[in-house]
Structure 1
Amino acid sequence: MVALAELAFSTDDLARVRFAVSPLWEVAPSFRLLRSGAAHPVHRTWADQVRPRLIAAGLDRGWLHELIPPGGGYVPDFLNPAPTGPAPAPAAEREAIRAAPADRVRQDLDHLARHQGALGRRTRALRNDPQGLLPKVTEEIETYWELALAPYWARIRAVLDTDVLHRARTAAEHGTGHLLDTLHPSLSWDGDVLRMARRKQPLTRTTAGTGLLLIPSVFTGTGLRTRTTPPDPPQLAYQARGVGSLWQARPVARADALSAVLGRSRTLLLASLENPASTTRLAHRTGLSPAGVSQHLTALRDAGLVSAHRAGRSVLYARTGAAETLLRAASA
């Protein structure tokens, strides 16, 4: 067992250090948390809302159930393709999974089998026919995204973007070496080498590719998650700053100011969307009629302040990033 891994950096490697916000890097750790059934100290509010949807959709016994083992451990690398830009769209990342080479999928599933002892029925079939069944996997990931992550993405994305801005400022003021040295307790920078403590596998440029891709995450937890699949750059997912306040309520202190612009009912709806909800639930929360709620939601959606997400037979409405900004400005 390797207690300390060392990754050397050339000038070119340092020049290729970058950040990315990746929707798919949130899928595996969030699914694992839901599957555990545990009352997480930070994500309990989110999990209590999403877990019933997960079960109702049958995702607790589907592809992700076999591909993402409970309690930690290896997740197949093809589920986390290297982000090609600073913030790839979920659809683009799913397409990268769908296009994963068959040999890559089989190699990853063999690795998963060694960790688990054996593959399940679905993963055995996937190993036999990657090209034929990867579309099924990506369809389930899309379903999971829509019911578990998309309604909350504006809030999650704000935390991730804030983390990247903080780290970028650290690098600008103190250098990339200092950034890497302070990124995580298990990492240390020494000259031209990044050392990673408590890593089970070696980490070299032969096994890891060039550069380094840093991925903040709200669901990863306090450990590091890594992916080393040449020719892709090595990827490190770490817990973003500010996760502890992610689900805290954000009351609108000056709803009257916003009401003068949007109207009382639409402001009330935006304030009530602290958590994503259906039209029926919003009618109960606000006292407005379901027809009135539907009409106002359509207007808010057309204005880019609300997004809609399919969750089984229901549609969940959520505030967008623009709405969060507007509410913060009204509360200032």
Structure 2
Amino acid sequence: MIEYRLEIGDLSTICFAYSPLQETVLSLRMRHRPSSYPEQRGWAASWQSRYEDLDTSLLDALMAPRGFCPDFLTPRPPRPRPDFEEELALLEATPASRVVEDIGKTYACDGSPVPAVLSRLIDDPAALLKRISAALAEYFTHCLAPAWWPRARSVLEADLAYRGRMLTERGTQGLFADLDARVSWQDGFLRVTDNSPGTRELGRTEAVEGRGMVLSPTLFALGALTGISPHDEPLISYPARGKATMAEGVGTTRHVRAPAALSELIGAPRARLLGLLEQPATTTMLAHLLGVTPGAVSRHLSALTAAGLLVRTRNGRNVLYHRSGLGDALHSPSADHGSAPRSRSERAVREDV
């Protein structure tokens, strides 16, 4: 168990941020444990041929068999929505001694030998760090950035919007209670419990002491996790809400059955969108789910928002939509009084959205 002691002033420094670099590094877990991330299998298969052209021996070695990775690879994001290049610059500034220490500690916790590709370069950490940075940049650019990252970013944005709302409505106590089963909050201590032997041996208590606490959603964690190095700034990563929806983003469209009476009232395309927006989503995310253009979705979202059925929230450069209280009430199954006949074929509805 690793726990953080937060004083009253530290609570005001808690913030949320996602990290494209963290997602890039942690996505390598799929190479060792594909069954743990079923929602990502289709995506991994879609870029497999491109991955094979990269520095695969090094990339595969960055993730130990049991899912540990050197902490220097996932620095704390400098702001809520950093760019990949911005975080890569932080990685490249890692002190050489930290590179060596973290690689040794990672594989010691995992109980596995350091792979040959790392052990050959460990005596020249500057060269190793340069090669790691180049390999991750190529991996992100060729495999993740074209389609996967825009879809993943929408899920992470939706999580940030939800957490912000929970903090406003429930306060710190309620926020931590909803974060993950491994996270607990009591008497000023925020605890992350990990039952893996390597992490238990490194258990420690650390004071935040004004450094700030960052909570970061990820698509590649089975439970909350934090850095094992005492050098790290306070950071807890946790499974992103809605990560299972990533399975819906690979060449498929999502079918949502709206109440028939609602479809008759506002039209099938808009009723379908209302069904999708139980959780916040961007126009781009909805377009991916439906297999249509963002422009086709945007005009329906504007109409639903004007009617008071959706709430529009800006998060950085993104705009998120989700159902309002009125939208929830209209989409409730109890609002469907019978099975009105369809006025259009399913194909026509899809083309209209």
Q: Judge same fold: TM > 0.5, yes or no.
A: yes
Q: Does 1:101 align with 2:95?
A: yes
The alpha-carbon deviation at position 22 of structure 1 amounts to 0.1
Q: Does 1:165 align with 2:161?
A: yes
SS for the counterpart of 1:70 is coil
- Are residues 71 and 112 of structure 1, via their aligned partners in 2, closer, same or farther at CA, if it must alter by over 3 Å? closer
Amino acid at match of 2:214: L
- Are residues 327 and 122 of structure 1, via their aligned partners in 2, closer, same or farther at CA, if it must alter by over 3 Å? farther
Q: Which residue of 2 aligns with 1:235?
A: 235
* 2:40 alignment partner, one of 43, 59, 70: 43
Q: Is the 8 A contact 1:98 1:135 kept in 2?
A: yes
SS for the counterpart of 1:195 is strand
- Are residues 228 and 35 of structure 1, via their aligned partners in 2, closer, same or farther at CA, if it must alter by over 3 Å? closer
Following the alignment from structure 1 to structure 2, what is the Cα–Cα distance between the partners of residues 194 and 206? 10
Q: Which residue of 2 aligns with 1:302?
A: none
Following the alignment from structure 2 to structure 1, what is the Cα–Cα distance between the partners of residues 61 and 187? 42
- Are residues 327 and 149 of structure 1, via their aligned partners in 2, closer, same or farther at CA, if it must alter by over 3 Å? farther
The alpha-carbon deviation at position 237 of structure 1 amounts to 1.2
State the identity %.
29
The alpha-carbon deviation at position 328 of structure 1 amounts to 2.7
Q: Which residue of 1 aligns with 2:323?
A: none
Following the alignment from structure 2 to structure 1, what is the Cα–Cα distance between the partners of residues 158 and 33? 29
* 2:120 alignment partner, one of 108, 121, 125: 125
Amino acid at match of 1:142: A
Q: Deviations over 1:1-54 (max 9, x none)?
A: xxx443221123212211111011112331120344549431122122122321
Q: Is the 8 A contact 2:223 2:239 kept in 1?
A: yes
Amino acid at match of 1:202: G
Q: Which residue of 2 aligns with 1:184?
A: 180
Following the alignment from structure 1 to structure 2, what is the Cα–Cα distance between the partners of residues 13 and 39? 35
Aligned pairs for 1:45-60 (under 5 A) are 45-55=42-52, 57-60=53-56
Aligned pairs for 1:134-149 (under 5 A) are 134-149=129-144
- Are residues 100 and 194 of structure 1, via their aligned partners in 2, closer, same or farther at CA, if it must alter by over 3 Å? same
The alpha-carbon deviation at position 136 of structure 1 amounts to 1.2
Q: Is the 8 A contact 2:192 2:225 kept in 1?
A: no
Q: How many residues align?
A: 260
Give unpaired runs (5+ residues) of structure 1: 254-304, 307-318
Amino acid at match of 1:89: D
SS for the counterpart of 1:238 is strand
- Are residues 232 and 110 of structure 1, via their aligned partners in 2, closer, same or farther at CA, if it must alter by over 3 Å? closer
The alpha-carbon deviation at position 230 of structure 1 amounts to 5.2
Bigger drift between 160-169 and 45-54 goes to: 45-54
Q: Which residue of 2 aligns with 1:75?
A: 69
The alignment yields a C-alpha RMSD, in angstroms, of 3.0
Q: What is the TM-score with the length of structure 1 in the denominator?
A: 0.70
Amino acid at match of 1:47: A
Q: Is the 8 A contact 2:5 2:207 kept in 1?
A: no
Q: Which residue of 1 aligns with 2:80?
A: 86
Aligned pairs for 1:136-285 (under 5 A) are 136-151=131-146, 152-199=148-195, 200=200, 201-205=202-206, 210-220=211-221, 222-229=222-229, 232-248=232-248, 249-250=252-253
Q: Deviations over 1:197-236 (max 9, x none)?
A: 335232322599833211111222x222212545643211
Following the alignment from structure 2 to structure 1, what is the Cα–Cα distance between the partners of residues 114 and 246? 36
- Are residues 207 and 327 of structure 1, via their aligned partners in 2, closer, same or farther at CA, if it must alter by over 3 Å? same
- Are residues 37 and 59 of structure 1, via their aligned partners in 2, closer, same or farther at CA, if it must alter by over 3 Å? farther
Q: Is the 8 A contact 2:3 2:206 kept in 1?
A: no
The alpha-carbon deviation at position 188 of structure 1 amounts to 1.7
- Are residues 213 and 111 of structure 1, via their aligned partners in 2, closer, same or farther at CA, if it must alter by over 3 Å? same
Q: Which residue of 1 aligns with 2:320?
A: none
Bigger drift between 206-215 and 74-83 goes to: 206-215
Q: Is the 8 A contact 1:21 1:87 kept in 2?
A: yes
The alpha-carbon deviation at position 158 of structure 1 amounts to 0.8
Q: What is the TM-score with the length of structure 2 in the denominator?
A: 0.66
Q: Deviations over 1:49-105 (max 9, x none)?
A: 1223212x14432x1222212232x21011011111111111111111111001111
Q: Is the 8 A contact 1:210 1:234 kept in 2?
A: yes
Q: Deviations over 1:265-322 (max 9, x none)?
A: xxxxxxxxxxxxxxxxxxxxxxxxxxxxxxxxxxxxxxxx99xxxxxxxxxxxx8xxx
Bigger drift between 151-160 and 25-34 goes to: 25-34
Following the alignment from structure 2 to structure 1, what is the Cα–Cα distance between the partners of residues 207 and 100? 21
* 2:104 alignment partner, one of 110, 116, 123: 110
Amino acid at match of 2:152: I
Q: Is the 8 A contact 2:6 2:209 kept in 1?
A: no
SS for the counterpart of 2:181 is coil
Following the alignment from structure 2 to structure 1, what is the Cα–Cα distance between the partners of residues 234 and 217? 14
Q: Which residue of 2 aligns with 1:267?
A: none
Following the alignment from structure 2 to structure 1, what is the Cα–Cα distance between the partners of residues 7 and 293? 42
Aligned pairs for 1:283-322 (under 5 A) are none
